[in-house]
Amino acid sequence: MNGLRPWRDIARRKSRQISVGSVKVGGDAPISVQSMTNALTSDANATINQIRELEEAGADIVRVSCPDEESTAALKEIVRAVKVPIVADIHFHYKRAIEAAEAGAACLRINPGNIGSADRVREVIKAAKDHGCSMRIGVNAGSLERDLLEKYGEPCPEAMVESALDHARILEDGDFREFKISVKASDPFLAVAAYQGLADACDYPLHVGITEAGGLRSGTVKSSIGMGMLLWSGIGDTIRVSLSADPVEEIKVGFDILKSLGLRHRGVNVISCPSCARQQFNVIKTVERLEQALAHIATPMSLSVIGCIVNGIGEAELTDVGFTGGGKGTHQVYLNGVPAHRLQDEDIVEHLVKLVEAKAAEIEAKKAELADAAE
Ligand code: SF4
């Protein structure tokens, strides 16, 4: 069914749904946002603190590496201390996978084709089933199987899809279908083509990301192009932005990508102009300070901060709280799209923060009222 603005509709690919602990992935579940810790997993306290920071930023799922026994030993304490489901990242060592499942991991990131004999695969599948774990098959262009590289000559979309389906078949043969798949590459062209091929070839939920995308700015741009292209075409059930930056930034960028596509809303969507000689207050500084001061708000809502009346009125009409620069230091504040009051230069940030907080509280109260009425 077309929405009010059909040019904004995204028809999501129909995928089967799996559970990563309490979070549903695939089907009609909201697209979840993940990141990964980089503290030593064996240092449970450091890892717990990092996961809590990620929870605060809105992470739905967090992945931790389990390279050794000390890590899977710490996992038990970690899982107990945090709210989000934990994915244990395993490479090669099937025993770590079994230990992680026993320790309470919600999901194992493991490629069954890499862990050796059929017996080992059977053991891992049994541990996952016994402990209610799902799995993620994670194909990476940088670590494709040698036979596929020989067959195709280089990492290409077809080789990545074949690798993913080979791993999937191993799990299917073990009567296990609670898994999602990723086919990541640092080259967005390769990643996008591989995900498109995989999306056509199966109905498993897809974990989407551009791997090793780079630093905060370049990685954000690359991820937005690659993941944006996929999400816009309806592909992707859970996402991770990979940045050489604080993992909290990955969560923020992930939500910003989803927000830009209208796929998920969290926090204040700030609409602001780049500013020019017509600005009636310092737009850039004001927006910088506002973004910091409003980072704690999770309620989806919009705020426009526009330097002058050229675009200020039109944008304010479409936002929950609007602010438009006016002549002689007298600016206009809008609430729910209509002019509310004037404001002088001095206290723009403090004033807008108060208004946004009040609006967020109002939206939450309304939500609670509706939920009560529905019960
Ligand atoms: S809205 Fe006004 S201040 Fe902002 S960029 Fe446009 S003309 Fe310049």
> Which of 271, 286, 305, 311 most suits a substitution to test ligand 1, by most atoms within 8 Å of the C-beta?
311
| Res 2: pLDDT | 56
Per-residue pLDDT tens for 57-109? Answer: 999 999 999 999 999 999 999 999 999 999 999 988 999 999 999 999 999 99
pLDDT score of 150 more than 60: yes
Ligand 1 pocket member 314 (CB < 6 A): no
Ligand 1 pocket member 307 (CB < 6 A): yes
Q: Specify the CATH superfamily of domain 11-260.
A: Dihydropteroate synthase-like (3.20.20.20)
Query: Residues annotated as binding site for [4Fe-4S] cluster?
Result: 273, 276, 308, 315
Ligand 1 pocket member 308 (CB < 6 A): yes
Q: Look up residue 100 and give its amino acid.
A: A
Ligand 1 pocket member 310 (CB < 6 A): yes
Fold of 268-374: Sulfite Reductase Hemoprotein; domain 1 (3.30.413)
CA of 115 to the centre of ligand 1 (A): 58
CA distances from 131 to 42, 86, 104 (A): 22, 13, 7
Ligand 1, atom 2: closest residue by C-alpha: 308
pLDDT score of 1 more than 50: no
254-277 average pLDDT score: 93
H or E element at residue 196: helix 188-201
Per-residue pLDDT tens for 189-207? Answer: 999 999 999 999 999 999 9
How do the domains of the chain map onto residue ranges? 11-260, 268-374
Q: Which ligand 1 atom sits nearest the alpha carbon of residue 279? A: 3
Residue partners of 189: CB distance under 8 A and separation at least 6: none
Residue 133 gets the label, from left (phi > 0), alpha (psi -120 to 50) or beta, of beta
